């Protein structure tokens, strides 16, 4: 039998995403960190030089959170792979080391188990060993895989380890899967590990976003910075298909704030005048100020926004008027105020803007009710930390394929667009999306120590809104 201490106290290489653009992305945030430091885009732990003994995190890199291993396997997948009916008796997964290691076992002292934990490039170097044995190449698992097992291992054949490397558009993922089945030979243990590795690979998060996509395609020579900004803003506006713009259409980070900030910087010093003209047009279409919304609703001067004036004409139209005058549903805007927030924080500080006849675009009264409740609870929570920006929330008529709630900044206001995909969300998720967007609007009061209020930074790097909204919903 293998000593349980070998299983639980094996030293491992920490998961690392290798980002060539790390320094560029930090610069976009305005950070002064060392070029070697992985950014929040990686959300990984630092790498060690040794394939078998890290002795803890490398002192040369900051310690940041690794991928949560909990969702990588289902209980049924582990049971099926082990060929062992664990059922309700299993106490796992047991999470250790900030969630970097997940142990699935029959009982606390069982020799039948599966454990997934971070790996590293050292596992693939010549002469690398894990549990005291050299690895053998394994085909058809990730981009590269090695199996460490057999009777010559420190575990005496009771335990084997599969180390996997998978390339992605933003770097490489490394992880190990340990399998404990003392009654099976090394080949059978390997088959269990392969099955679970193939199940886990597509479930790793890849925190690539729109900014990453622009920079990566620019580095590859597929477009210039100006062309990338025009294409990405065109995607936001529904003028360009995602497949024409994105290296990886399954983006995880859908926040467009970084692209907007990058576009504004490009307008100041970008070299391509033609691209700057297109950027101005697209920003004007995408970002609606309070003044323009009021004009659309007929409570302000007529709008002069290019492309919008023929639709809105500076007056509020009924849903039928929209259809009669334009031959198709068009956004006709009404302001919905929230009395509780008006009383607490000032009239009009928080507003929701809807289109008359919004049911034409898939929105329902429930969506409006949920939005009001989420905005109210979020505002009360964040205002307790300090004075928030003015917030305007808009129900969009566009059925954007990749976005839910996206916050943008215009002057001293924060503007949140609720996109079509949110119509398919259940109430709790719908409200979570709004609360996360509201946390971005709270940047001036929730910014980390040392950040200047209103800093132009990549907001997902300088502020993790995900820290705040679970408290609310």
Please give the pLDDT value at position 171: 63
Rounded Cα–Cα distance for residues 179 and 112 (Å): 8
Are 149 and 273 in a shared domain? no
| pLDDT tens digits, 274-283 | 999 999 999 8
Are 79 and 140 in a shared domain? yes
Please give the pLDDT value at position 200: 82
Please give the pLDDT value at position 96: 36
Q: What is the 3-state secondary structure (H, E, C) of the chain?
A: CCCHHHHHHCCCCCCCCCCCCHHHHHHHHCCCCCCCCCCCCCCCCCCCCCCCCCCCCCCCCCCCCCCCCHHHCCHHHHHHHHCCCCHHHCCCCEEECCCCEEEEECCCCCCCEEEEEECCHHHHCCCCEECCEECEECCCCCCEEEEECCCCCCCCCCEEEEEEEEEECCEEEEEEEEEECCCCCHHHHHHHHHHHHHHHHHHCCCCCCHHHHHHHHHHCCCCCHHHHHHHHHHHHCCCCCHHHHCCCCCCCCCCCHHHHHHHHHHHHHCCCHHHHHHHHHHHHHHCCCHHHHHHHCCCCCCCCCCCCHHHHCCCCCCHHHHHHHHCCCCCCEEEEECHHHHHHHCCCCEEEEEECCHHHHCCCHHHHHHHHHHHHHHHHHHHCCCCCCEEEEEECCCCCCCCCEEEEEECCEEEEEECHHHHHCCHHHHHHHHHHHHHHHCHHHHCCCCCCCCCCCCHHHHCCHHHCHHHHC
Are 132 and 267 in a shared domain? no
Show the tokens assigned to 250. Answer: 């399954």
Is residue 303 in a domain? no
Are 454 and 373 in a shared domain? yes
Are 326 and 351 in a shared domain? yes
Show the tokens assigned to 260. Answer: 């907007």
Is residue 313 in a domain? no
Is 182 within 8 Å of 174 (Cβ atoms)?
no
Are 388 and 339 in a shared domain? yes
* More reliable by pLDDT, 459 or 450: 450
The model carries a pTM of 0.38
Exposed, middle or buried by CB within 10 Å (0-12, 13-18, 19+), for 318? Answer: exposed
Residue 364: CB partners within 8 Å, gap ≥ 6? 423
Please give the pLDDT value at position 205: 55
Rounded Cα–Cα distance for residues 69 and 429 (Å): 22
Under the banding of pLDDT at 50, 70 and 90, the label for residue 115 is confident
Q: How far is CA 177 from the centre of its chain?
A: 25
Are 9 and 107 in a shared domain? yes
Rounded Cα–Cα distance for residues 421 and 159 (Å): 45
Are 269 and 417 in a shared domain? no
* More reliable by pLDDT, 15 or 348: 348
Is residue 299 in a domain? no
| pLDDT tens digits, 221-269 | 899 999 999 999 998 888 888 888 887 666 656 667 778 888 988 999 9
Are 330 and 381 in a shared domain? yes
Region 424-450 average pLDDT: 74
Most confident range (mean pLDDT) of 235-239, 286-290, 301-305 is: 235-239
Which range, of 100-104, 198-202, 203-207, 297-301, averages the lowest pLDDT? 297-301
Please give the pLDDT value at position 386: 76
Are 135 and 16 in a shared domain? yes
Exposed, middle or buried by CB within 10 Å (0-12, 13-18, 19+), for 143? Answer: exposed
Q: Could you tell me what percent of the chain has a pLDDT over 90? A: 15
Rounded Cα–Cα distance for residues 384 and 183 (Å): 59
Are 112 and 195 in a shared domain? yes
Side by side, the strands of the sheet bearing 144-148 are 94-96, 101-105, 113-118, 171-180, 159-168, 144-148, 136-137
Q: Residue 136: pLDDT above 80?
A: yes
Domain that holds residue 281: 208-286
Is residue 191 in a domain? yes
Question: Of 174, 203, 232, which marks where a domain is finished?
Answer: 203
Is residue 317 in a domain? no
Show the tokens assigned to 371. Answer: 């939005």
Under the banding of pLDDT at 50, 70 and 90, the label for residue 292 is low
Show the tokens assigned to 96. Answer: 């250790």
Most confident range (mean pLDDT) of 32-36, 215-219, 329-333 is: 215-219
Are 241 and 106 in a shared domain? no
Please give the pLDDT value at position 151: 83
Please give the pLDDT value at position 231: 95
Show the tokens assigned to 462. Answer: 């300088």
Residue 242: CB partners within 8 Å, gap ≥ 6? 235, 249, 401, 402
Rounded Cα–Cα distance for residues 392 and 291 (Å): 11
Which range, of 110-124, 158-172, 323-337, 386-400, averages the lowest pLDDT? 323-337
Phi-psi region for residue 357, left (φ > 0), alpha (ψ -120 to 50) or beta? left
Under the banding of pLDDT at 50, 70 and 90, the label for residue 359 is very low
Please give the pLDDT value at position 240: 86
Is residue 304 in a domain? no
pLDDT mean across residues, the chain: 65
Q: Residue 160: pLDDT above 90?
A: yes
Rounded Cα–Cα distance for residues 40 and 463 (Å): 10
| pLDDT tens digits, 313-328 | 233 333 333 334 333 3
Is residue 295 in a domain? no
Question: Of 262, 286, 310, which marks where a domain is finished?
Answer: 286
Is residue 292 in a domain? no
Please give the pLDDT value at position 258: 79
| pLDDT tens digits, 395-420 | 775 554 445 666 665 556 787 878 77
Please count the structural domains in the chain: 3
């Amino acid at each position: 039998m293998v000593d349980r201490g070998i299983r639980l106290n094996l030293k491992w290489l920490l998961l690392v995403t290798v980002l060539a653009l790390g320094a560029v992305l930090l610069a976009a945030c305005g950070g002064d960190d060392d070029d070697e430091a992985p950014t929040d885009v990686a959300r990984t732990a630092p790498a060690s030089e040794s394939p078998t003994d890290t002795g803890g995190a490398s002192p040369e890199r900051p310690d940041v959170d690794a991928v949560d291993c909990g969702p990588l396997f289902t209980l049924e997948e582990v049971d099926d792979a082990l060929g062992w009916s664990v059922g309700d008796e299993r106490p796992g997964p047991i999470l250790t080391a900030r969630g970097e290691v997940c142990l699935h076992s029959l009982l606390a002292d069982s020799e039948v188990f599966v454990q997934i934990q971070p790996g590293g490039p050292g596992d693939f170097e010549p002469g690398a060993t894990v549990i005291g044995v050299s690895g053998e190449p394994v085909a058809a698992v990730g981009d590269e895989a090695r199996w460490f097992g057999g009777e010559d291992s420190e575990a005496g054949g009771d335990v084997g380890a599969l180390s996997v490397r998978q390339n992605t558009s933003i770097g490489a993922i490394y992880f190990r899967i340990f399998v404990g089945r003392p009654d099976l030979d090394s080949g059978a243990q390997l088959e269990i590990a392969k099955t679970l590795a193939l199940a886990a690979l597509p479930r790793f998060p890849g925190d690539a976003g729109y900014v990453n996509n622009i920079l990566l395609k620019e580095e590859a020579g597929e477009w210039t910075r100006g062309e990338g900004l025009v294409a990405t803003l065109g995607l936001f506006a529904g003028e360009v298909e995602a497949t024409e713009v994105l290296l990886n259409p399954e983006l995880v980070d859908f926040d467009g704030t970084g692209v907007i900030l990058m576009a504004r910087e490009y307008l100041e010093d970008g070299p391509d005048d033609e691209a700057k003209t297109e950027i101005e047009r697209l920003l004007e279409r995408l970002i609606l100020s309070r003044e323009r919304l009021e004009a659309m609703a007929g409570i302000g001067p007529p709008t002069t926004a290019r492309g919008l004036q023929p639709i809105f004409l500076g007056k509020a139209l009924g849903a039928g008027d929209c259809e009669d005058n334009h031959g198709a549903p068009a956004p006709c805007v009404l302001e919905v105020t929230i009395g509780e927030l008006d009383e607490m924080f000032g009239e009009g500080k928080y507003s929701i803007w809807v289109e008359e006849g919004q049911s034409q675009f898939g929105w329902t009264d429930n969506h409006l009710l949920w939005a009001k409740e989420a905005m109210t609870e979020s505002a009360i929570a964040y205002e307790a930390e300090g004075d928030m920006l003015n917030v305007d929330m808009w129900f969009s008529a566009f059925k954007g394929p990749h976005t839910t709630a996206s916050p943008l900044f215009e002057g001293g206001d924060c503007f949140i667009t609720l996109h079509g995909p949110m119509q398919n969300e259940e109430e709790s998720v719908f409200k979570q999306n709004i609360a996360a967007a509201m946390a971005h609007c709270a940047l001036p009061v929730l910014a980390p120590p040392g950040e200047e209020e209103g800093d132009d930074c990549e907001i997902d790097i300088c502020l993790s809104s995900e820290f705040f909204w679970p408290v609310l919903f």
